[in-house]
Amino acid sequence: MSRTGYTLPVFAVASAKAALLHLQKKLELPCEVALDLLGDTAYISIQQVARLDDTSALAITKSAPGDNLDLTRNTPIWAWVKLTAKQSQALILEAGEGLGKTATQEPAIYSYARRLFDANLLPLIPRDKTVTVSIILPEGRELAQRTSNEAFGILEGLALLGTSGISQPLSAADHLEEFQKILQAKVKNCPNLVFCIGSNGMQVAQKLGIKEEAIAPTGNWIGALLVEAGLRGAESVLLLGYQGKLIKLAGGIFNTSSHLADAKLEIISAAVVRICGNIEAAQAVLNANTADAAYKTLVELGLAESAFKALAETISEKAQAYVQKYANVALQVGTVLCDRQGNIIVRDAIASEILYQIGLHRNN
């Protein structure tokens, strides 16, 4: 059975609470702090805590996301807390080293995380005082380079985001079984399925007016669920989502978790060489930091449309061959590739046909 864990905001809040309690002489090591997760309670172990002077303290926890393939596992999370005379706010949150900032230099601390800070720290702050919390992620800047944060406008580190304190093991095998059961139920009433890859895919599906009953969740198990769709009698599957995920299928990678395999730039580069033989353009793609940056480079060179059209067609061809190999059935597969902002880059001819089959006009 897979173990759940906690999301990054939980450990940031735990460190801050531990530092504040230690400053108030209410906590000593070894210890755990109890956190209100806005409905649940968590008990988080504190690794280190120290008073720096009469008004400030530092505490450290380590991230424990459970049985998730999470790059923040065992990441140290520091919280520096300072108690001062009352200001306009009782609680001020700052981004220390390794915690990302938005383009306007605001800390990348989002709604759920801020509510956690409020729920757990405000009751501890004396009425005549203000607490300033600076969250420090010593490994955050380096780890952020392995994410798509910059594409979302999060700069210089990781973000405290999410809608829950519980880290569900979505990467664990028991979730594949859950997705298979959902697909089995959907295909009975909707033989033309849509696999929305990531939030981008769902965003585009809503724009296109695709009905929820046609949409089957996949996580990273696109290959396994394509096979499941074939075995359960589906007539077609539309792959719809962020190009940086779906492009992996063009290289024969059917589990899209970046922890298992990642060759996005190499696959795009190979497509460029195949369509025009432009080695300099291929090298520019390989030098890009993200798949989005590679796409923008190709737009500037006038090669994006042809390269990504070829990639979409390759994805569909390889997906159909994958199902034929492992399920021994023919399944029609079409592909729609989108950018990070949810804009459609390209669709292949089969995708247009599937959209027509599920009740949408080919030009939608």
Residue 27 banded pLDDT, cuts 50, 70, 90: confident
* pLDDT computed for residue 341 by the predictor: 80
pLDDT higher than threshold 90 for residue 161: no
What's the pLDDT tens digit per position in 119-135? 999 999 999 999 999 99
Q: Is the backbone peptide bond immediately before 123 cis, with ω within 30 degrees of 0?
A: no
What's the pLDDT tens digit per position in 324-333? 999 999 999 9
Residue 168 banded pLDDT, cuts 50, 70, 90: low
**Lowest-confidence segment of 92-96, 147-151, 234-238, 249-253 by average pLDDT:** 147-151
More confident residue, 295 or 4: 295
Distance CA 109, CA 240 (A): 29
CA–CA distances in Å: residue 288 to residues 150, 252, 264, 293: 13, 22, 11, 6
* pLDDT computed for residue 87 by the predictor: 96
| For residues 88-95, average pLDDT | 97
* pLDDT computed for residue 283 by the predictor: 95
- What the block records as the tokens of 165 is 């304190």
- What the block records as the tokens of 323 is 């199902």
- The conformational region for residue 74 under phi > 0 = left, psi -120 to 50 = alpha, else beta, is left
- What the block records as the tokens of 324 is 């034929």
| For residues 301-322, average pLDDT | 95
Q: Can you give the pTM of this predicted structure?
A: 0.60
What's the pLDDT tens digit per position in 206-239? 888 898 899 998 888 899 999 999 999 999 999 9
- Cβ atoms 57, 20 nearer than 8 A: yes
pLDDT higher than threshold 80 for residue 315: yes
In the chain the first and final C-alpha atoms are separated, in Å, by: 43
- Cβ atoms 244, 265 nearer than 8 A: no
- What the block records as the tokens of 143 is 């780890």
* pLDDT computed for residue 152 by the predictor: 62
DSSP 2: P
- What the block records as the tokens of 93 is 């949150």
Residue 259 banded pLDDT, cuts 50, 70, 90: low
Mean pLDDT of the chain: 90
| For residues 11-16, average pLDDT | 98
Residue 147 banded pLDDT, cuts 50, 70, 90: confident
* pLDDT computed for residue 67 by the predictor: 65
What's the pLDDT tens digit per position in 268-305? 999 999 999 999 999 999 999 888 899 999 999 999 99
* pLDDT computed for residue 201 by the predictor: 80
Residue 30 banded pLDDT, cuts 50, 70, 90: confident
- Cβ atoms 81, 120 nearer than 8 A: no
Distance CA 119, CA 130 (A): 15
- Cβ atoms 157, 95 nearer than 8 A: yes
Residue 364 banded pLDDT, cuts 50, 70, 90: low
* pLDDT computed for residue 54 by the predictor: 94
pLDDT higher than threshold 60 for residue 337: yes
For residues 127, 130, 136, 141, the Cα torsion angle rounded to the nearest 10 degrees is 120
Distance CA 299, CA 279 (A): 16
As a 3-state breakdown, the chain gives helix, strand, coil percent values, each rounded to 5, of 40, 25, 35
How far from chain centre, in Å, is Cα 349?
A: 29
Strands 332-338 and 215-216, how do they pair?
unpaired
For residues 336, 342, 344, 349, the Cα torsion angle rounded to the nearest 10 degrees is 20
| For residues 101-121, average pLDDT | 94
Residue 68 banded pLDDT, cuts 50, 70, 90: low
Count of Cβ atoms closer than 10 Å to residue 50 Cβ = 12
Q: What angle do CA 56, 58, 63 make, to 5 degrees?
A: 150
Strand order in the sheet with 215-216: 215-216, 192-197, 236-242, 332-338, 344-347
* pLDDT computed for residue 56 by the predictor: 97
Residues 6+ apart with CB under 8 A from 357: 192, 235, 236
